[in-house]
Amino acid sequence: MTANAYFTLPKVLRRLHEGPLGDYVNLYAAQLLREGHCYQSGTRCIRIVGDFSQWLARKHFNISDVDESLVVQYLRFRTQYQRPFCSDRPALCRLLGLLRQIDAIAPQTIIPPKPLEQIEQDFEHYLLRERGLSQTTVIRHRPRCGSFFRNAVARERQGFRDFPRKTLSVL
CA–CA gap between residue 51 and residue 55 (Å, rounded): 6
Average pLDDT over residues 50-70: 94
Residue 91 has phi, psi (to 5 degrees) of -65, -40
- Predicted confidence band of residue 161 (pLDDT cuts 50, 70, 90): low
Whether the CB-CB separation of 55 and 80 falls below 8 Å is answered with: no
Tens-place pLDDT, residues 87-96: 899 999 999 9
> Would you say residue 162 has pLDDT above 60?
no
Q: Find the distance separating the first CA and the last CA of the chain, reported in whole Å.
A: 72
Q: Quote the pLDDT of residue 160.
A: 55
Q: Of 41, 11, 38, 14, which is closest to residue 26 (Cα–Cα)?
A: 14
The more confident residue out of 119 and 162 is 119
